[in-house]
Amino acid sequence: MMGLKFISTGRCVPGKIVTNDDMSKIVDTSDEWIRTRTGIAQRYFSDGETAVDLAVGAARQAMERANVRPEEIGVCVVATCTPDHSAPSDACLVQAALGIPEDVPCFDLNAGCTGFLYGLETVRGLLSLGSKPYALLIGCEQLSRVLDMTDRSTCVLFGDGAGAAVLGLEEGALWEALLGSRGNWEILWVNGPGPETAAVHMNGQGVYRFAVEAIPSCANTLLERSGLTMDDIDWIVPHQANRRIIETAAKRLHAPIEKFYQNMERYGNTSAASIPIALDEMNTAGLLKRGQRVMCIGFGAGLTWGGALFQW
């Protein structure tokens, strides 16, 4: 089987940091209230940057680190639920900005916070059909544009940012993936496009119940399919939504919390960007080493969930 190999990573966030104390000046909340319930201390909000700006910044960094030229890219996918436009896609604008040839499929993919993982399987399939060696996959969100700043249950959770990866196919590489969905608009949704102002709406308890079920179920299925055990896994990189969710999932998996990489304290929930941002942060910090086994698990609006198990 042809698995995916991460060649390089990149990330880009806006220049504006918004702390919990900053949020307390906008809505009735406090640093202590946000930290104890979510683990979040700050997030980035765009201040003039577009979603495409962030996507291009992360993609250019990943391509430069990989020493990959635009003409070597065989597919470009942007996972997002907050594109700059309904059309054209952010991916097409990234293609133009980076000079990727016009004979390359470029499109946006919306699977909520699971978007990057849906994107991995999508580019794996498209690479196998093409003649160029690399895929460019970007998770990018500008959630600050769709926040109701009077709703303290949602506006304190989310942030903006982009993470990118250059990927290639490798024969016999460890690769297991799982994707799923459960159609539901009542737990987590963003309205639009239309006359009503777009805003994130969320049933926090519903999301929690779904997530603490989805993460262990997805992880156990990936382990069963691969023939590995939790002891064989070096890192679990979950969607960075809430520290309580991750801690509960770790307990249900009987896995040490130290295996779960967490960075929501610095970024908040960046939806489809959260896993690639985390991977790049780990990569640049030297935490990810070649040969390590990594499991990424996401969950989000849709409802969707997904996982990927691979060797770094």
Residues with catalytic roles: 113, 239, 269
DSSP state of 63: H
Residue 253: closest CA among 223, 216, 297? 216
How wide is the angle at C-alpha 84 spanned by C-alphas 59 and 239, nearest 5°?
Answer: 60
DSSP state of 186: S
Number of other residues whose CB lies within 10 A of the CB of residue 43? 31
d(CA 205, CA 80): 24
HEC string for 130-147:
CCCCEEEEEEEEEHHHHC
d(CA 234, CA 253): 14
Radius of gyration (Cα) for the chain, nearest Å?
A: 18
Beta carbons of 45 and 14 less than 8 angstroms apart: yes
d(CA 220, CA 111): 22
d(CA 162, CA 214): 24
d(CA 243, CA 264): 8
Which two tokens mark 165?
A: 């990866």
d(CA 60, CA 164): 9
CB crowding 48-76: b at 16 or more within 10 Å, else e: ebbbbbbbbbbbbbbbebbebeeebbbbb
